[in-house]
Amino acid sequence: MIRPDFTGDWRELPVSTLAYIGDAVYELYVRLSLCRRSVFNSGELHRQAIRLVKASAQANGAKSILPLLNEAEEAIFRRGRNSQPSSQSKSADPVDYRMATGLEALIGYLYLNNEEERLLQLMQILVEEKHNVQTEQS
């Protein structure tokens, strides 16, 4: 994937920036995953993606990977979760929103830090397993 040339420490970026990047990476992974496994039309792909990227789904995913995080990853997640958001979601539970922000910050950090193998490992847990469970329940 395209990655900017940066010589600084990604951990020094504002956590909102890490979450902003993480949100984009997460959504792109979800969209590609859905396209790979289905032949839905674009409207159905969009509905499926929304189910997987909404704050409550991300919060549940975050809870499932928390025990797998190393110390540095956990610190980034906590920074994101504990940050004061500049805006509140009108539809998401505040606790879910904060957990989702922590997850997005972690994903953004792993992506920008070029930790592709670790990012893929966590994304597979977050998205692939979540999609399989939701497909079975549908």
Catalytic one among 5, 9, 23, 96? 23
Q: Which residues contact 68 (CB under 8 A, 6 or more apart)?
A: 122, 125
**Chain-wide mean pLDDT for the chain?**
85
What does residue 111 show for φ and ψ, rounded to 5 degrees? -65, -50
The burial class, CB within 10 Å (0-12 / 13-18 / 19+), for 100 is buried
Residue 36 has pLDDT above 70, yes or no: yes
What pLDDT does 135 receive?
44
Lowest pLDDT segment from 54-58, 86-90, 125-129: 86-90
Percent of the chain with pLDDT over 70: 83
Q: Residue 11, CB half-sphere, CA atoms under 13 Å: how many?
A: 8
The burial class, CB within 10 Å (0-12 / 13-18 / 19+), for 20 is middle
Q: Give yes or no: 9 in active site.
A: no
How many Cβ atoms from other residues are within 10 Å of residue 108's Cβ? 27
Residue 130 has pLDDT above 70, yes or no: no
What are the residue ranges spanned by the domains of the chain?
12-131
12-131 is classed in which CATH architecture?
A: Orthogonal Bundle (1.10)
